Amino acid sequence: MSRQLDSNMAAAVATGNISPFFMAMLSFKTQQQWVWTGVGTLVWNSQPFVGIGSAAKIGTIQEGVDVHAYGTTVTLSGIDPVLLAECMTDMVPGAQATLWFGLLANGAIIGSPYQIFNGTMDQPIVSYGTDTVSITLALETRMLDLSRASSRRYTSADQRLYHPTDSSFGWVESLNDQADVWG
């Protein structure tokens, strides 16, 4: 991911006459949702983002020099309790999530929004209020997959799941029954 702001964004920050906003692409079972933290519809890269105003909150975005899987959260509030069951069945752990930071001046996007996070969604956490429900989505980077044990095996059957015509692991099972003497 690039570490430099778009030159137009950098110039606008220097002037100070800007309105910051966030955009998100969240993948669900039935569809992808493209939302932003404003009101109305915002179009970027020919993709319309639906404004959700203050109904969303983005957690802290971290980055470090050590090899660590930093994540963040997105909280969606103001959800009607009647729609909670439908919302929960539409969320899939491992689905794609991307967040951007952008600047507006006079209602127009300045430069190109900066991607601040790209990863996957984890299990949602539900918080109940008096009239509404809030759902917090934990977002994880793909680096977290490095700490998980692989379910792959060095067997012919496992290799053929991904490459049906490959027979390169056909000899592995025969090694289990073979007694070799070294030296």
What DSSP string describes 124-146? Answer: EEEEE-SS-EEEEEEEE-GGGGG
**Closest-CA residue to 2 (of 118, 122, 128, 108):** 118
* pLDDT given at position 43: 92
CA-wise closest residue to 155 among 175, 173, 178, 176: 173
46 pLDDT band (50/70/90 cuts)?
Answer: very high
* Tens of pLDDT, residues 11-25: 877 777 788 899 999
- What is the pTM (predicted TM-score) of this model? 0.72
More confident residue, 87 or 116: 116
Task: Report the alpha-carbon distance of residue 135 to residue 172 in Å, rounded.
Answer: 48
Q: pLDDT at position 177, please?
A: 78
Q: Domain boundaries in the chain?
A: 7-140, 149-177
Q: What pLDDT sits at residue 48?
A: 94
- Do residues 61 and 82 touch, judged by C-beta distance below 8 A? no
Residues forming a β-bridge with 115: 100
Say what the pLDDT of residue 44 is.
Answer: 92
